[in-house]
Amino acid sequence: MKKVITYGTFDLFHYGHLMILERARALGDYLVVAVSTDEFNAIKGKICTYPYEHRSQIVRALKCVDKVIPENNWEQKPQDIRSNDINIFVMGDDWKGKFDFLEEYCDVVYLNRTEGISTTEIKNNIKEFLTDDR
């Protein structure tokens, strides 16, 4: 069985999230998704709209996802790979080269992001809409 793992915050879940998860799952037989905890997001300077429990529940409900684990820190990836018998580590191509050090544990694949959609862009559009004086 070929196992795949990917990581993300998955706030304001959107079509781009679904596409990257479905494409990650298509690379193997089993998909593990590590969802960033609220505490880890705070360390990264990210503020989520929804708490970890809700974001992980949304991801867990997807038929392409087999297992959800918490992402608590940057350093946990090698241990996650070993403890889940992972063959392929997948991230969006905006992270290209940042996780090549994991090649000692498994294959590393960077997938193209879905064009025209990002959580940051959605948040900026909402903020702009709410501050528009029309």
What is the set of active-site residues?
44, 46
Query: What are the φ/ψ torsions at residue 129 (nearest 5 degrees)?
Result: -60, -45
Q: Can you give the three-state secondary structure of 25-72, one letter per residue?
A: HCCCCEEEEEEECHHHHHHHCCCCCCCHHHHHHHHHCCCCCCEEEEEC
